[in-house]
Amino acid sequence: MTDVIDRSGLKPRFWQRKPMQKLSDREWEALCDGCGKCCLNKLEDEDTGEVALTCVACRLLDDETCRCAHYENRHQFVPDCIVLRPDNIDSHAYWMPMTCAYRLVWEGKPLPDWHPLISGTPDTVHDAGISVRHRTVSEFDKPIEEWEDFIIEEPI
């Protein structure tokens, strides 16, 4: 029996059947829930390694869509932007938001009902209040010395 392919062209629940390292680029990108949290600046405590999420967004985050405004060529604008991939998730998952699908799948946890791959629509991440839509400030407006004042609790 062949797996049925949904209208996105992806096999349903592909992330449950394949190890992360075997996902195609299209499957990997589809795991993104569109919340925008990975584009928020984070503060890491040098002593404990604890990571705090701020609502100070990368200059490229579109606060309306919760997507990178220059995703394909973002390194031209933000050279230290980390490209999360199956081969580096082991070293970067700790700083990903707790609700991030990449982190959840890496930890062996299920995707929540609001995830677009479960709900079938990209709007549910916003409707559920998980995304950072309309809740960010630009890094251009806040000096790094003030970012500690903009720490937010996870999950939002």
pLDDT of residue 49: 87
Cβ neighbours, 10 Å, residue 28: 15
pLDDT along the chain (156 residues), means of 10: 57 94 94 95 92 95 95 91 92 91 96 95 95 95 96 80
pLDDT of residue 118: 94
pLDDT of residue 105: 97
pLDDT of residue 1: 41
Radius of gyration of the chain (CA): 16
pLDDT of residue 9: 81
What is the rounded CA–CA span in Å between residue 36 and residue 100? Answer: 10
18 DSSP assignment:
S
pLDDT of residue 4: 45
Please name the residue that has the structure tokens 């959840």.
104
What is the rounded CA–CA span in Å between residue 146 and residue 119? Answer: 38
Alpha carbon of residue 1 to chain centroid? 34
pTM for the predicted model, two decimal places: 0.88
pLDDT of residue 8: 66
Q: 43 forms bridges with which residues in the sheet?
A: 52
Is 27 within 8 Å of 18 (Cβ atoms)?
Answer: yes
The residues spanned by each domain of the chain are 14-152
